[in-house]
Chains A and B, each alone.
Chain A
Amino acid sequence: MSRVLIIGLGNVLMGDDAFGPSVVEALNAAFQFPPGVTVLDGGTPGLNLMPLMMDYEVLIVIDTVKSKGGAGEIRLYRKADLSPAARSPRQGPHEPGLDEVLTALDLAGRGPAEVLLVGVIPESVETGTGMSGPLRAAIPAAIRVVQTELARFNLAPRPKPAAETPSPWWEAA
């Protein structure tokens, strides 16, 4: 049984929105993960997150977030912070995001008990591949947060003997 899902969200064709998938690439290049830990580039699946997130005990999400602050600053959120209770009426069928997926899974008793959202404030989310300097620089900080979180569950990843250089396919010429 898989215990932990680490999922990077975002569109790799939209500048800084590639942060989540980029952290996933960097994690895979640097570490070996113990059994029970799944690492996934999730893209931007909306409610299609449901099948990906079902039946895990712990969920670690890496994504860009809207928040006050400078580009590249990391913000951490727990499950209770993601409650949609204060939101205005639901408008669109594809509007559901992470919070709504978690609500649906919880109603079914299939949601994670613990959630950590590792959010980064983007500089520029526009069509094009490649991230801004501040977001590239924020990757190591996001990785440390993921490592610390995994250590809480005694599932810390082991550094690869020869760390690879991450080379996301979407940044190749």
Chain B
Amino acid sequence: MKVTIDPITRIEGHLRVDVEVDGGEVRNAWSSGQMFRGIEQILQGRDPREAWFFTQRICGVCTTVHAIASVRAVENALGLEIPLNAQYIRNLVLASHALHDHIVHFYHLSALDWVDVVAALKADPAKAASLGESLSPWPGNSRKEMEAVKTRLATFVERGQLGIFTNGYWGHPAMKLPPEVNLLAVAHYLQALDVQAYANQAVAILGGKTPHIQNLAVGGVANAIDLNSESALNMDKLFQVKDLLDKVATFVQQVYLPDVCAVGALYADWLKYGAGVTNYLAVPDLPLDGKGTQFDLPGGTIMNGDLATVHAIRSFDDQYFRDHVTESVAHSWYAGNGEPRHPWKEDTVARYSDFNPDGKYSWVKAPRFDGKPMQVGPLAQVLVGYATGHEPTRRWADLALSTAGSIAHARLSPAVLNGTLGRHLARAVRAAVLSELAIKHWQLLVDNVAKDDLSIFHEPVFPEGEVQGFGFHEAPRGTLSHWAVITNGKIENYQCVVPSTWNAGPRDEKGQMGPYEASLVGNPIADPKRPLEALRTIHSFDPCLACAIHTLDVEGNEIAKAKVL
């Protein structure tokens, strides 16, 4: 039996997943991007200093990450070092953005795969409160709070306003949380609304605006620093940022991480599903110098899930990374003979044909590292951190595993992270690490400014002839890289190899599946008409296919369906 889920994502490009189900289990899978990504072509011939303005419009969710990768790519082509202040300000923007993204992904997007909101109405608020208080010192778990949330939810249901929640798979046999855990989750869903707004405010103060930041420049940032000026980045604004980061960190550490541990433990039977591709790639980020040779977050590759194989990626100019990235279009709707090509040498010439599971079936290319499919995202980030002995990653990952283990009455090792639930757990661990490091980089910025270093920008100079550059950023969804070829100061070629391309890409010329595809094989499917389990696995990657369009469908047309053939 074949089940087609189309679309999986609507706003950030259009993802279709086909699974072959036999005996209640997925036997084969295809992941297909259903929309042409040719946005890079808009950049050809443009001024490289303006590229980031365009790239941050590739995707409306991942705006800042494409802006940062773009300026880094151009700086790399020029060998341009940026001032320390600029590096710290960028780091604060990217950490705040990532924290926002992770909180929203868990509470507002994917928790509904695991949490049955309607079941929360059966909860005993006192029991929910004592459960919450046993997991965390968070003040928002009080009995009064649980009662208020239950009342609010009941009123909402009575008015028939459930909307998004009634559209979830409530009552599905795979929904297993006790009512009290569901109520706690709804309470945290509401509290997370405030917290994600704090993270967004931090980005807005530093970036000038959200959702599209204004403060970047090739060569640094545009935030004038003057502690005594109203219009510049001053002490007042810096302390506002600090206050916001503190609030976000408290929530991440006291609510988000324990919640994911609890969900993971209560769905422990799911720990075995969804590993798929266990080659992992993460690049280093949060640079500590102007050049990008020292970082607060480590990067590297891991092959076959074996932490001992870790190979570090060390700098913005790392040759191991630069030389091993290729993209295959053997199963993608582009012209080419199927030979994998390096991003500097690629083109993007559309050749659409029908969906052919044995031939071409996706608009997404298939990125490979040294010829191998790689999983990117928080799980890769955490495993690479664990393997390289990164202290904050180890500390938070060990805490998460022991917390989940104590609820599940089991001993959990990092190996259990290879899978659907592990991706959620790793995302929460990464958020905890980022919440700590964001505050560290705030202090680094303040200390540097206190030394009277107010520099924010180094003027870029474009040489005659051709230069090539690459810029990477370890974005919320994983490794993002931009590749630019610049001739006489104009963009000649530009390619974005994005996290969801690594994960959602199709098979390559050797027939190797991409991570989404491989992770679906072996998943249980209790009810093919409501393939919740397949959605859980895909959602655990936080899918976001760049190239957003946004035509609203307001006239009740069916926006998505699971079709069983």
Contact = CB atoms under 8 A, between A and B. Distances in A.
Contact of B535 (A42, A47, A88, A91): A91
Interface residues of A, number: 64
Interface in B190-230: 190, 193, 196-197, 200-201, 210-212
Nearest to B168: A90
Given A50-B104, A104-B108, A11 B548 contact: yes
Interface string B46-62: 00000001100111110
A89 B560 contact: yes
In the A-B complex, the 9 residue pairs with the smallest Cβ-Cβ separation, listed nearest first, are: A44-B60, A93-B109, A103-B163, A51-B200, A44-B548, A91-B560, A46-B11, A90-B167, A51-B197
Interface of B: 5, 7-12, 15, 36-39, 41-42, 53-54, 57-61, 63, 100, 104-105, 108-110, 112, 152-153, 156, 160-164, 166-169, 190, 193, 196-197, 200-201, 210-212, 530, 535, 538-539, 542-544, 547-562
A105 B193 contact: yes
Given A48-B60, A48-B104, A52-B211, A93 B551 contact: no
Q: Which of A20, A86, A122 has the most CB of B within 10 A?
A: A86
B117 to A, nearest CB: 9
Contact of A89 (B9, B10, B11, B562): B562
Given A66-B555, A92-B9, A117-B552, A47 B109 contact: yes
Contact of B39 (A13, A83, A92, A169): A13
Contacts of B166: 85
A96 interface: yes
Given A52-B211, A88-B560, A89-B530, A44 B549 contact: yes
A51 B109 CA distance: 15
Contacts of A84: 163-164, 167
Contacts, number: 218
A162 B190 CA distance: 46
Given A90-B112, A127-B39, A170-B54, A48 B163 contact: no
Given A48-B211, A92-B539, A169-B53, A14 B549 contact: yes
Given A44-B11, A100-B164, 6 more contacts: A89-B169, A90-B560, A94-B12, A100-B163, A106-B161, A127-B39
Contacts of A1: none
Contact of A97 (B10, B160, B542, B555): B10
A131 B542 CA distance: 32
A127 to B, nearest CB: 5
A13 B57 contact: yes
A105 B194 CA distance: 10
A92 B8 contact: yes
A10 B58 CA distance: 11
A166 interface: no
8 contacts: A43-B63, A45-B211, A48-B211, A52-B210, A85-B166, A87-B556, A89-B530, A170-B54
Given A50-B197, A88-B559, A103-B161, A127 B7 contact: no
A97 to B, nearest CB: 6
Interface in A7-29: 9-14, 17, 20
B463 to A, nearest CB: 23
Contacts of A91: 5, 7-8, 10, 535, 559-560, 562
Nearest to A88: B558
Contacts of B538: 92
Contact of B163 (A17, A99, A125, A128): A99
A102 to B, nearest CB: 8
Contacts of A96: 11, 108-109, 164
Given A12-B57, A41-B212, A92 B543 contact: yes
